[in-house]
Amino acid sequence: MLRPDGTSKVCTATQYLTTTYITYTTIAGDITVSGDYKFHTYVEWGGGISPKTGENVTVHVYSSTDTLPGEYELIEVIEAVTDLSVQTQAQSEALTNLSASLLYNTSSRRQGNFSIFYRMAQSRLNRDLLELGITLNEDDTKLAYAYLIQFMYERKFKDYNATQISSGGDSVTRPSASALQSYMDVLENAQAVDSTIERHTDYTNYPTQWKNTQDLSPTDEIPIE
């Protein structure tokens, strides 16, 4: 197991019941930070059989402080504010809603992968919030994820950034990268405005016209240049 911080641990798995699968249950100290954990299995059969290695598996572990709406809630918002349809996990397991714009954990040439887009959106949003020094409430967080996921889906297609799209005799004009702009609007609207007025250390000797208005007396004259 390779942790996100670069440290690693060898975990001893056991056979799962009488199947050809192996299983391992994490213990205290295994999961130390949030992020992507990478696993690679190695099995020794004995009896002269060559050891076997399995596929690499990546599991994303979320921190309890991560701002992540539930998948079903997010899917409801995506379908409410965008023109995308999303396959849920239950539908994926039941092999239904196969024509959705976003499949739950797979994709096709014309369909996106909801799980991958969701993970990418989380990384982008967390980075942007950190850089801007802001936080989002629950509703704005869902909106931000919805627009980011819409943008990632649209980016699959060569005309995603086109301002005009024509099909048959119909033509539609739209802002360039409108989903991304909607995401940026959510962040911009959430930015706190600091209304605190700070005084310069030498504000007493500043020219009258440079003082904060709260420092002016009713008789002060402000020259207009």
Q: What does the pLDDT read at residue 196?
A: 46
Measured CA to CA, the distance from residue 214 to residue 63 in angstroms comes to 46
Contacts of 210 (CB under 8 A, 6+ apart): none
Helix (H) or strand (E) holding 43: strand 35-43
Closest CA to 151 of 87, 100, 82: 82
CA Rg value for the chain: 27
Q: pLDDT at position 108, please?
A: 92
How far is CA 166 from each of CA 31, 114, 169, 179, 185, rounded to the nearest angstrom? 51, 27, 7, 19, 27
Q: SS3 for 117? A: helix
Residue 111 has pLDDT above 90, yes or no: yes
Phi and psi torsions of 198, nearest 5°: -100, 140
Query: What is the residue whose two structure tokens read 């931000």?
Result: 144
Least confident of 88-102, 116-130, 188-202: 188-202
Q: Per-residue pLDDT tens for 156-168?
A: 876 555 555 566 6
Identify the pLDDT of residue 193: 42
The pLDDT assigned to 178 comes to: 83
| Domain boundaries along the sequence of the chain | 14-61, 71-190
Segment 18-37 mean pLDDT: 86
Neighbours of 142 (CB within 10 A): 23
pLDDT at 67 over 90: no
In percent, the amount of the chain with pLDDT more than 90 equals 36
What is the Cα 69 distance to its own chain's centre?
Answer: 11
Measured between alpha carbons, how far is 31 from 149 in angstroms, rounded to an integer? 28
Mean pLDDT of the chain: 79
pLDDT surpassing 70 at residue 8: yes
Confidence of residue 172 (pLDDT cuts 50, 70, 90): low
For residue range 188-216, list pLDDT tens digits in order: 988 754 334 455 555 555 555 554 554 44
Q: How confident is the model at residue 35 (pLDDT cuts 50, 70, 90)?
A: confident
DSSP 201: T
Rounded to whole angstroms, the Cα distance separating 219 from 122 reads: 56
